Structure 1
């Protein structure tokens, strides 16, 4: 039995260059984090078996060790040992889910944001004439006390208190920093979705997903910085608009199993023989 790839799939040799460019920053991250090549190779071996088992089955036929071995190039005995782990499950850490939900509502709900989409400063407690942080948290979850969320966010720098004692959303709420578990969660989620969209577009005759970029080479460092700063403003405006519209749509949506992600990225680096890499 020979596996025939989809007609639009590129040849394996043609993928070598793009894959090397795609994987280079990930290899840099692995080396800096202490993830050795044998550890990464073992992870890839497990993923090869898992994807072949769950994504390349034949309709009406049981997936066999021999076929998985044929698809992956991994020895059949090794395939037998690695199979049966189940498809990977994307688990969202509770704190990440809670944080993103509260921040999203703060930015989208007219009760907690200004007409231009900027988050309003919030009184700590409900009952005052102005909107409150207590009411915001209670509108998202009843499983944790608003005071506990406030203390956690003050400690992590997601919010601060202004001169009137109101709770103010900080920039850190938009850009996770340091060892924040949100940083690693969204690293995996956003890169997965971006790569998944790009792969779908490569394999399909008609690209099903929007995946575009504006790029210029040979720029002066001054112009590159100026364009980067302007792109950040445009990107944030687009994200805030999409968040408000999604929030409004969810108010009347019956719910279901679908998932949607809208993301943007801005990147720049020095090029040439004396390049220092990404900034």
Structure 2
């Protein structure tokens, strides 16, 4: 019996696989570092394919759903049925009162100086104060408990002599909480990728998604660039924070349905430039 040879991939599919290979390398590195076997990743890919196919078939005949998913994904009907009956791990929760308070502190003009750096604030009293910040962030956690948690996380220090609170870190990195770190990776990178995919499948204007590349820099210049990028982030969040809050307040005042969320991120990544491809300079 002759073996069936898979049809060759056309140019768009080959280009997509090349991009996917680039995306998967960092995830493979992370999974290998934590001992995650490839079989577990393959299972997640099957789940992702089935979920995406199910979403694409939304509104179709439910009696033929399994068959349609099987046709779209290349999985057998039995495999599709099995996958739909199993669950995948849930993404860890990343949002916390401490993180929200930190975001409010560094983004509100009353709590930063002219250089957009957070100022020391009184522990109690009207705004600007830690007590006022805590009240804006949550009604469920008392300001004293929130302060104790932020001190534990080494995010702030309380100066008893002046009864003021000062930020030690203006970026929340939960180094002592692995699940939360991975949760941030999943939400931040995941939604960035989702925005890019939506743009690629659409007309490119559904979401703002741009990048700036600068090469031919020295190691010393990269160090300076990191300082410039941090300053840009402080400026961005201080400018946008109050404006977004104003939009939220306007929606509430107008009694609009507030069921939308926006995530705005800034990232930088530096590495050695790739070696030049000398083969392209050879005579043909």
TM-score by shorter chain over 0.5: yes
1:165, distance to aligned residue in structure 2 (A): 3.6
Change (3 A) 1:101 1:58: closer
Larger mean Cα displacement after TM superposition, 230-239 or 27-36: 230-239
What is the match of residue 3 of structure 1?
none
Instruction: Give me the CA root mean square deviation.
Output: 2.8
1:247, distance to aligned residue in structure 2 (A): 1.9
1:243 pairs with one of 232, 241, 244: 241
Q: Is 1:161 aligned with 2:163?
A: no
Residues 50 and 85, structure 1, Cα contact 8 Å, conserved in 2 = no
Paired residues, number:
259
So what's the TM-score if we normalise by structure 2? 0.79
Change (3 A) 1:198 1:35: same
What is the match of residue 122 of structure 1?
121
Change (3 A) 1:120 1:247: farther
1:269, distance to aligned residue in structure 2 (A): 0.8
Residues 108 and 240, structure 1, Cα contact 8 Å, conserved in 2 = yes
Provide the C-alpha distance between the structure 2 equivalents of 1:217 and 1:267, rounded to a whole number of angstroms.
12
Provide the C-alpha distance between the structure 2 equivalents of 1:213 and 1:107, rounded to a whole number of angstroms.
24
Q: Which segments of 5 or more consecutive residues in structure 2 lack a partner in the other structure?
A: 1-10, 276-284
1:56, distance to aligned residue in structure 2 (A): 0.9
Change (3 A) 1:179 1:33: farther
What is the match of residue 30 of structure 1?
31
Change (3 A) 1:45 1:220: same
1:15, distance to aligned residue in structure 2 (A): 0.9
What is the match of residue 69 of structure 1?
70
Q: Deviations over 1:209-241 (max 9, x none)?
A: 221111133432222333233223223311321
1:227 pairs with one of 225, 243, 246: 225
Residues 99 and 172, structure 2, Cα contact 8 Å, conserved in 1 = no
Provide the C-alpha distance between the structure 2 equivalents of 1:110 and 1:76, rounded to a whole number of angstroms.
57
Q: Deviations over 1:243-265 (max 9, x none)?
A: 22112322222251111111111
Q: Which segments of 5 or more consecutive residues in structure 1 lack a partner in the other structure?
A: 1-9, 274-279
1:64, distance to aligned residue in structure 2 (A): 1.5
What is the match of residue 99 of structure 1?
98
Residues 127 and 133, structure 2, Cα contact 8 Å, conserved in 1 = no
Provide the C-alpha distance between the structure 1 equivalents of 2:109 and 2:216, rounded to a whole number of angstroms.
44
1:104-183 equivalences in 2 (<5 Å):
104-114=103-113, 117-126=116-125, 131-162=128-159, 164-171=162-169, 173-180=170-177, 181-183=179-181
Residues 122 and 163, structure 2, Cα contact 8 Å, conserved in 1 = yes
Change (3 A) 1:117 1:248: farther
